[in-house]
Structure 1
Amino acid sequence: MENLQNKQPILTLNDLYASNVIYTSRPSYGSNPWLELEEHQCNFSTGRELIISGQTPILVHAACVTNKLSLLFKTVGIKIPSNIWKFENQTTYEKLIKKLAHEYGKKIHFQYAHEPEVLKNKHYALDKETLIALNNKSRLAEWTGYKYLPKREVVTVAEFENSVSNWSFPFVIKPAGDLPTAGGYGVMICYNNEDLKNAKQKISKASHMTNSLIIEQKIEAVNNYSVQYVYSEKEGIRYLGATEQLIDQYGHYKGNHNVQKVPLSVIQAGKEIMEIGVKNGYFGIAGFDLLVDKKNNIFAIDLNFRQNGSTSMLLLDPFLHDGYHKFYNYISPCDNEKFFNIILKYIQKGLLFPIAYYDGNWFNNESVKSRFCGVWHGSNKDYIERIEEEFSKEIYDNK
């Protein structure tokens, strides 16, 4: 296997954040009806930035940094960074954040805003109100400079029933306001009355926390790009690259793959949006979902002023084979040991690059499925799809 020890990511978190900053990608433990707050998935997400953290300390769940991850990383010639703060549950997570801020004088860079009981705004590395405002879907027009907009309407929950009756299928319903969404959860694509009925049920359950909704044109996209940028005082604005998002017909996230040729018009549209974000106080990594239809019109449907699922894949390009790259998440469908050993086998073959591993066997008193995310990489898409199929047969065989 190729020796990767002397290779480095395109950039790391310490290229972006001050030396007194600590990073956490975990959503708050607080209630949010529009975010898939399955506890183990949220814990798993904390391991995703380990490999690109550089010297920036990060908060990581203990199940993300067991000997199993050490072995996966060792296989590709890298080590788990030492600058990590481990937590085990909500109590230890929130206690650790408060200790780092209050006793150690650290600033916390949150991927998602937390409740004020967890930490006051003055301890945020990126201003909390800026983070919330830029990720508020109802304010998308402001952050795009009133360009690249699908037809959309922002209505109160009370107005929704009457307003939606004026729309023709298909259309999209999204929560407005300050609560974050991710992975397509909270996005309700309606093709028919049954979909609309299901959406209304979700809205009813969330009405105690949601004041307004967005009804939006469903774009028939030819391409679905996630274009990513970074800003720091040192770097200025820099284009990191783009991936194409893989989603199902209802908008749920299924991974990303790399794209070699992105239209300059799409890159420029994303840069314009990033410039507006920076003018409003943003720094760090951001990714914007830009759709292109058959007439080459560009539509901004979601702005994520935070790191994205495929950010690590873009930054780890020097470690990957030239050709086709696909970022993907797996939850063990079988025995955790079998799952791990099959993953290890494909990493040893040089076809799968590890990013994060959540060790279900770390938990002694409950049955937890292990989780893994990484990048398939090889000469071309057809080849990798055949390898993926072989991998899936192995992990699903006899479970």
Structure 2
Amino acid sequence: MGEAAKRLTSMEGQRMMNFRPSYSMQDIYGEGIIYNPKLYAEDYQHYSGDLLSLDALTGRELSVVGNTPVVCHAACTTKPALRLLKKAGLKVPPVLYTYQNEDEYIEALKLLSSQNKKMIFQYPHPEGRVSTELYRVDPKVLAYLCDKRNIPELVPAQHIPKRRMMSLEQILEEKPQLPFVLKTGDGRPTSGGYGVLLIKDEKQLEEINDSFGDLTSIIVEELIPYEKNVSVHYMVNKEGEIEFLGKSEQLVTKEGNFCGSWITTEYDHNIADIIETGYEVMKNIADKGYVGVAGFDVLVYEGNYYFIDLNVRFNASTCGLLLYNDIKKRFGTKFMRLCNFNWTENFDQVIPLVEEFVDKQQIIPLSILDPRYFPDEEQVTKIIGLVIGQSSEEVEDFLKDMVKAGFILKE
């Protein structure tokens, strides 16, 4: 109680120093680049149920890029939201290239290309929509690394679940033993567990349509029961040097979609073998010409471990990992949970409410999306934040308080 009270008094009435990420964008990529987190596609069939959450992601890394300009949706850069991020101790980049729709986004990229800018894309874009000269990392390399079909070329064979490529027609005819996992095998980028289906009942197969992807090319993978679901994170800089950033314990919905994580930079000797294998995988990725960060999803079961996905980009947990050490040093909090919240009331009401939890040093907001920029979508504010505490129990108590206040925790 005394420690919590001490923390409560330290923030009110004083100007916060900005948190410093453990590695800057310049450390990783070099100078003179623009950061672009947007997932862009000709269609968004994988994500048709939650497009606002996709756009909320474009504001998530504002706090770790320093002075690097960022391309992001205007809904994440409202004055109230940015003011609150700054109050929480986050540095917002001085230059933001904002857009409000897909046409404005493409026009912004064309303008920056004409100015001979170099951009860090988190996802490969459809050919012909973006000049290849704009990419800091070769788009062919990005496309290769984002394609789930290529995982066996990057991960040691003994650490990959059994898998094969099949068409939906073949799956319906051969009826693999249930349960199993389906993953898109057409090379399209996916995120947050979308583009992945856990099949427990044959009836589910009858409901699959073109929105899942190319039905002639599907990855059928054995379902691994697991004791731990972790992600190990790395970065490789412009000099080819690889660093371990930390780990996150994944939280997923019953459908298998990502909904948050527990984050730490502390070395876990219990997963030392996984971390070492992760270095090997990151070295293979770097050898392809990649510069940047990556997180690898790993399932642990009966002494074995399996790399089930390679997320070669900023992950949901990367921002928290880069800020973890500075947050811990300032507040003395070693427990951190990345959370996604919905708010269904008026947007203007949520900012002062989040601010109350910021003042109590219980949450550090990373991105707050104003749904009024999307009049045709359900009016749900999206909030991404780091909930911090002295223990996991304390963090859970803070989350209960937030839920009581009207926040809807994605879980």
Same fold (TM over 0.5): yes
Aligned residue-pair number: 389
**Aligned 1:80-99 pairs, distance under 5 A:** 80-99=92-111
CA-to-aligned-CA distance 1:284-324 (integer Å, 9 cap, x gap)? 0001001111x220101001111111110101111244221
Matched with 1:216 is 221
Change (3 A) 1:132 1:147: farther
**Aligned 1:177-256 pairs, distance under 5 A:** 177-193=186-202, 197-206=203-212, 209-234=214-239, 236-256=241-261
Change (3 A) 1:77 1:303: closer
Matched with 2:36 is 24
Cα distance in structure 2, aligned partners of 1:234 and 1:59: 25
**How far does residue 118 in structure 1 lie from its aligned partner after superposition?**
1.8
Q: Is the 8 A contact 1:68 1:359 kept in 2?
A: no
Q: Which of residues 335, 342, 349 in structure 1 aligns to 2:346?
A: 335
**Aligned 1:252-263 pairs, distance under 5 A:** 252-259=257-264, 260=266, 261=268, 262-263=270-271
- Mind listing any 5+ residue stretches in structure 2 that lack a counterpart? 1-9
Residue 82 of structure 1 aligns to a residue in which SS? Answer: coil
Cα distance in structure 1, aligned partners of 2:41 and 2:187: 16
Change (3 A) 1:153 1:29: closer
- Mind listing any 5+ residue stretches in structure 1 that lack a counterpart? none
Change (3 A) 1:243 1:212: same
Q: Is the 8 A contact 1:22 1:107 kept in 2?
A: yes
Residue 34 of structure 1 aligns to a residue in which SS? Answer: helix
Letter in 2 for 1:169: L
Is 1:71 the counterpart of 2:83? The answer is yes
Matched with 2:143 is 132
Residue 141 of structure 1 aligns to a residue in which SS? Answer: helix
Letter in 1 for 2:274: V
**Aligned 1:36-47 pairs, distance under 5 A:** 36=48, 38-47=50-59
Could you tell which deviates more after superposition, 151-160 or 54-63? 151-160
**How far does residue 90 in structure 1 lie from its aligned partner after superposition?**
1.1
CA-to-aligned-CA distance 1:342-389 (integer Å, 9 cap, x gap)? 211101100101111112345689873221111000000111111101
Q: Is the 8 A contact 1:98 1:118 kept in 2?
A: no
Letter in 2 for 1:213: I
RMSD: 2.2
Cα distance in structure 1, aligned partners of 2:42 and 2:66: 29
Cα distance in structure 1, aligned partners of 2:281 and 2:376: 47
TM-score of the superposition, structure 1-length normalised?
Answer: 0.91
Letter in 2 for 1:306: R
Change (3 A) 1:35 1:133: farther
Change (3 A) 1:45 1:341: same
Matched with 2:394 is 383
Residue 353 of structure 1 aligns to a residue in which SS? Answer: strand
TM-score of the superposition, structure 2-length normalised?
Answer: 0.88
Could you tell which deviates more after superposition, 198-207 or 240-249? 198-207
Residue 372 of structure 1 aligns to a residue in which SS? Answer: strand
